[in-house]
Structure 1
């Protein structure tokens, strides 16, 4: 999204300039006494200053009073943000703590006597403007459900959903309010007082440094003025927000809050005791996966035996934890352990002495060639060369099965991913959910789980009443069958356009949905057809992505018959309590969690109700170890509410877990779209294929099947770009880097595989090559560097499953590719004169290719034999 200042603002206020500070992926969850202390300190300082003078006597305040006056606003009734802080400081009023970022913004507002306002970037809808309002834009005040329409000519921050800050900086809205859950934010610093540009830049630098120091994350600052009046904020934000339409869940929360505040003054009515509250959510139970089949697990057994033999009478197994690591430097062994440091404290010995005793007490094992104790007390293990040579043979024997584990054997795990809405196109956020979810499904299957893939479709709701009306009025069956999702979306958009001119259409849509719910055969048949043709269309796009699989397509409608029993159970056990005007909600102990509405006052249910029913159905039907929801970070609160609410039911055992991921950002800015502000998944695939085919043609003009190879390389590049990055951070799309044949990219790994296969083909085609090359100095080291790394594929696989992070597989494959390319560039393979060495090295090439292929398949990426 982009933020811009309308030129009319500069024309009306020539002295105006502003700072924009973007803060991404920061931690605002903790209460920081140091930050709070800064704010309290400067507040006291300003309180003393204004104890002896009036606010409007201050030059900085007077400037903004004039600004407000020029707009026809009484500056004594409508105070700018920083003036309100000065007023509170003067009156020695305490300001309620909200969050660390909020305190920092208040601190700098008081320090510089300038408006400094913070907004949650993830809740901004579309592009944001500082402009004069047209009139009629909705504004919802912070901590309220009351909505007012702006008057014409107000100066405010306006996006597609309404006004997020009114009268410049005086009134903040509820939607973009900073909370402890905020992870991406923007600070606006406004100046009308002709502060010199250098001084203003220093102010911004101080704010930027303080944010980095206290909150972390990535921080960027910009100065906007006449010549530079816009900045790309690099976040997609929300779609289709409308501040004039408050969700029932939020209304219930604010009504509950109001009633609780009123009842606090009436001792007879204790609002907190009137309802059963669900306790705060518990920490998630992690997957318990045994590492017994891994090399690190076998070495852990050796270490435990050594510890117990050396110190059986002095320590208990519960006193220490053995962690086996992989050293970065091969000179420190293939594996290492620092358990001696833990035991040294218990035994009152030096780590070196403890480590030596453990080493001397360990049993002899054919897995390990030698064990060394480093000077600091680390125990380093070097794998036996014969074991490594045998491991190459194991890879070639097991082929596609190599690396697979049984850690999750006889257990089921559900992965829900993609989850689009019927009759709407797949967006870029569905790309992330689909790619990450499918990879996790593959990884969990590979460690032994019976992984079940579910596509939870949005196929229920009042929007289908609108779609039914639109189809009956303007729809053509052949057009829908030819291009289902695009045509249904076009009908839906046409309905909204028509409803703006004829509001009676909304009543007609409500009627159609009502009779649909009651079982009207015509509407039911239409709805069923909409769902079927949409799923067919979705499958076509999934096929283009390749390697996307679902065991079940289950929409929200699937759970409708289960809702009555769920609501009855929840009401009987006191989890669902009556709230505003007959609505039923779940109340929470956690003050940062608003009530979860499960039934509206008219008896209608919500998607939260259907999510609860889905949980129960899945637990009853599949009895899974875990149910993973691969959904973007914006839904964090919903899942926290959901999993906390369900703790009130006896049938729940902590199965649910939200596997969140960040937003997608394009390095080159927004991607062009055919319509609207949604980046479509098929647009990304189209762009990737086009760019990849161009790269393939440039690199290898004689290659056969350029289009097919280009498709695999392009799609692989997109998937790898997602899966090579930590899913919890925003994912940056950089086309040039994605499609590079060098560095950490999908094409680089595919090229490494193709290179290995080319070597193997040549060995079959020409036999001995002649022009033999003698072995260099470090042939043994380069060879071992590859061979000793092959069995560590299983280590990466198990850790990726435990942490639900496919990027750990990507990291392994990139490391393996670098080791292999170093091996091939320095070790004669086809040109080795010694036949025995040549054959052994060809087996290493073949084994490496096989592990590369197995790893890429876990990521859902196909290999190509030639590039």
Structure 2
């Protein structure tokens, strides 16, 4: 039982008027540690008990069983709890040493599935920093939900269908070079796409030809299908090279094309339920009763289906295939209206599981304050950016530790980790300005700062030749170590909050806080001094490193043992 739950349960024993959960939510952390570790404000009981909050706090201080605490005192309208540092530090350190990387593992999910729609780049388009947020937020949430006991299913819903493939086929047949595409798929296909679009502006027959090729593709024409499949395969090879660099994997690459033969069933279901309404020749579903002004456009007047029809098919397929407990879509905030419509249409179809679907939106990445745009050339491509981050990390590692044996691996872990961490430490609904120098800095609230704190601890443990034991009695009573103990004890709750709010920045900020607290401890404490607390201090180092490494892992960031 964590200390907050313990305090809430002790108060609940003497305050039957309030539920334990309500008491738990009212507990505060005093700004000054001299005022205790946790405080209960008695204001909430004033109306119920018809007494002054100060009097209530004093009476509670006398009633509460204080043997589990250092002391319990009333200060004005607050009941302040001072925790037993020695007992709690022993309990926390022993728990981390026993559990190792499984510390804070939870069983909320009971192996139920969480479907995570993430990354989802467009075939034949470059993978830019714009795709990074969906990729790293989705990857981190997959790790977090696994830690909560769920089984995540990471789905890369590729943009692998659409009229642009008609244009690409026309361009490739005119100017394509098979070897050039194989060597640099995205670059070559993008060049072809830009060139054919430029030609289409002056030659109207290009559009007609492209429409004809896309029609052939939709009808299953062998040549069109073969070219489309090749464009997809070659693009995916390049994407996977990038994903390998980022250490991101997927369970499914079912993209837009996968649902081509599943949309008729959606239309039939909507028709059978009497939900399709004609509007200007198109088929729509009215959603006014859900507070959504614009109807969902399901089928255009020319018979073409739309993006939402495909997403309806995908949602039905995923529920049928994975029977998910949660289905999350890690997609930019500009798609908020689309996902509101999607959920509302499914609800209208009678699928209550639509309540288990969540749009995990995020803000934009800017460069120099300007919005990124492929069309305007203001774009940051991921591959060269990762390479530069690794080079910057390598330079700093060379300066700090020129004799490090595995410099290349460490530079990769630090460079890639720096990009991921910087993205994830930002509240996802906020955007951020892309600044590689700030990202890769070893100072400030960065990934390298946290990684370096972990590596420093590993160095201390190596020097001390410390071997943790579950049989030993480790306990500490000083103020500096107490700050770290409280943070380590809080780790399970941090993970739960991250999962509840779909917000990896909670873990990133926690990791920064823990690293800062340890560095403060390191500066003020002679950890290796020979006395009766030496092993307890080393156990604290071991527990801190274990939790830092696990926090970074949940963010998809590696924790090198040396830097």
- The two structures have a TM-score, normalised by structure 1, of 0.60
In structure 2, the CA distance between the partners of 1:631 and 1:365, relative to structure 1 (3 Å rule), is: farther
How does 1:368-767 map onto structure 2 within 5 Å?
368-546=69-247, 548-580=248-280, 582-589=281-288, 593-653=293-353, 654-667=355-368, 676-764=377-465
SS at match of 2:119: coil
- Give how far 1:592 is off: 6.8
Q: CA deviation at 1:334?
A: 3.1
Give the drift of 1:556.
Answer: 1.1
Instruction: Give 1:297 deviation, angstroms.
Output: 3.2
What is the alpha-carbon distance in structure 2 between the residues aligned to residue 319 and residue 799 of structure 1?
16
Distance 1:683 1:560 in 2: 35
Please, which moves more after superposition, 406-415 or 435-444? Answer: 406-415
User: Residues 546-573 of structure 1, C-alpha deviation per residue, up to 9 Å, x if partnerless?
Assistant: 2x12111111122222211211221332
- Give the CA deviation at 1:666: 3.1
Distance (Å, rounded) in 2 between the aligned partners of 1:825 and 1:600: 67
Where 1:866 maps in the other structure, the secondary structure is coil
- Give the C-alpha shift of residue 687 in structure 1: 2.8
Q: Which residue of 2 aligns with 1:350?
A: 52
Question: CA, structure 1 residues 575+389, in 2 after alignment: closer, same or farther (shift >3 Å)?
Answer: same
Going from structure 1 to structure 2, the CA distance change for 1:555 and 1:397 (only over 3 Å counts) comes to same
Q: 1:518 to 1:857 in 2, by over 3 A?
A: same
Q: 1:464 to 1:627 in 2, by over 3 A?
A: same
Instruction: Give the whole-Å Cα distance in 1 for the aligned partners of 2:180 and 2:452.
Output: 42
Aligned counterpart, 1:337: 40
For 1:226, the equivalent position in structure 2 comes to none
Moved more, 570-579 or 622-631: 570-579
The answer to whether the aligner puts 1:303 opposite 2:11 as a matched pair is yes
State how far apart, in whole Å, the 2-side matches of 1:383 and 1:456 are.
51
Distance 1:325 1:506, change over 3 A: same
**Is the 1:355–1:373 Cα contact (8 Å) retained in structure 2?**
yes
Query: How far 1:629 sits from its partner (Å)?
Result: 0.8
Contact residue 365 and residue 371 of structure 2 kept, 8 A: no
In structure 2, relative to structure 1, the CA distance for the partners of 1:320 and 1:705 (3 Å cut) is closer
- Hey, what's the Cα distance between the residues in 1 that align with 2:89 and 2:477? 16
Report how far residue 328 of structure 1 moved: 4.0
* Partner-residue secondary structure (3-state), 1:519: coil
Q: Secondary structure at the match of 2:286?
A: strand
How far does the alpha carbon of each residue in 1:483-533 deviate from its partner, in whole angstroms, 9 at most, with x for none? 222222222222212323432121111111112111112222222222222
Shift of 1:696: 2.5
The answer as to 2:504 corresponding to 1:814 is: no
Q: Distance in 2 between matches of 1:837 and 1:822?
A: 18
Q: Does 1:852 align with 2:554?
A: no
Give distance in 2, aligned partners of 1:442 and 1:325.
Answer: 29
Q: Any conservation in 2 of the 1:616–1:651 contact (CA below 8 Å)?
A: no
8 Å Cα contact 2:154/2:252 also seen in 1: yes
Partner of 1:63: none
**Deviation of the 1:356 alpha carbon:** 4.0
Query: How many Å separate the matches in 2 of 1:614 and 1:502?
Result: 37
Query: Is the Cα–Cα contact under 8 Å of residues 144 and 499 in structure 2 kept in the other structure?
Result: yes
The answer as to 2:562 corresponding to 1:866 is yes
Shift of 1:316: 6.2
CA distance in 1, matches of 2:450, 2:187: 35
CA distance in structure 2 between the aligned counterparts of 1:365 and 1:644, rounded to whole angstroms = 54
Structure 1 residues 712 and 330, CA gap change in structure 2 (3 angstroms): same
Q: Does 2:490 match 1:792? A: yes
Query: Is contact 2:39–2:78 with CA below 8 Å preserved after alignment?
Result: no
Distance in 2 (alpha carbons) for counterparts of 1:329 and 1:410: 42
**Is this contact kept in 2: 1:417–1:437, CA < 8 A?**
yes
* 8 Å CA contact 2:60, 2:79 repeated in 1: no
**1:62-81 pair list within 5 angstroms:** none
Distance, in Å, in 2 between the alignment partners of 1:413 and 1:388 is 35
1:645-668, Cα deviation, whole Å (9 max, x unpaired): 222111243122111111112358
**What SS does structure 2 have at the residue aligned with 1:552?**
coil
3-state secondary structure, aligned to 1:788: helix
Give the whole-Å Cα distance in 1 for the aligned partners of 2:117 and 2:153: 8
SS of the residue corresponding to residue 457 of structure 1 reads coil
1:306-357 deviation per Cα after TM superposition (whole angstroms, max 9, x unaligned): 322xxxxxx364995541344443333333333x321211111122333344
1:746, distance to aligned residue in structure 2 (A)? 0.9
Shift of 1:815: 1.3
| Residues 493, 764 of structure 1: alpha-carbon distance in 2 compared, 3 angstrom cutoff | same
Q: Per residue, is there more strand in 1 or in 2?
A: 1
Per-residue deviation at 1:698?
Answer: 3.1
Distance 2:209 2:21 in 1: 71
How big is the shift at 1:694? Answer: 2.6
Which shifted more, 433-442 or 526-535? 526-535
Any idea what the Cα deviations from partners look like across 1:452-478, whole Å, max 9, x if unmatched?
A: 211111111111112222222322332
In structure 2, do the counterparts of structure 1 residues 515 and 707 end up closer, same or farther at CA, with 3 Å as the change threshold? same
**Whose Rg is larger?**
1
CA contact (8 A) 2:113 2:151 kept: yes
**SS of residue in 2 equivalent to 1:727:** coil
1:169 is aligned to none
Determine the C-alpha separation between the residues in 1 that align with 2:162 and 2:287: 27
Q: 1:564 and 1:365, CA in 2 relative to 1: closer, same or farther beyond 3 A?
A: farther
| Whole-angstrom CA distance in 1 between matches of 2:477 and 2:347 | 59
2:50, 2:12 → 1: CA distance?
19
Are the aligned partners of 1:369 and 1:385 in contact in 2 as well (CA < 8 Å)? no
**Structure with more of its chain in helix, by fraction:** 2
Change in 2 beyond 3 A, CA 1:821/1:524: same
Q: How far has the Cα of 1:857 moved from its partner?
A: 0.5
Aligned residues of 2:4 and 2:24 also touching (Cα < 8 A): no
| 8 Å Cα contact 1:779/1:827 also seen in 2 | no
For residues 707-762 of structure 1, what are the alpha-carbon distances to aligned partners after superposition, in whole Å with 9 as ceiling and x for unaligned?
33222212111111111111111123333432222221111101101110111111
Residue deviations 1:423-476 (CA, integer Å, cap 9, x gap) = 211122210111111111111111122222111111111111122222223223
| CA distance in structure 2 between the aligned counterparts of 1:319 and 1:301, rounded to whole angstroms | 9
Q: Which residue of 2 aligns with 1:20?
A: none
TM-score when normalising by structure 2: 0.91
User: Superposition pairs for residues 44-443 of structure 1, below 5 Å?
Assistant: 294-308=2-16, 315=17, 317=19, 322-323=24-25, 324-338=27-41, 340-362=42-64, 366=68, 368-443=69-144
CA distance in 2, matches of 1:369, 1:536: 61
Q: CA deviation at 1:574?
A: 3.3
Q: Which runs of 5+ in 1 are unaligned?
A: 1-292, 309-314, 766-777
| CA spacing shift, 1:411–1:355, aligned 2, 3 Å | farther
Deviation at 1:404, TM superposition (A): 1.4
Q: Which residue of 2 aligns with 1:97?
A: none
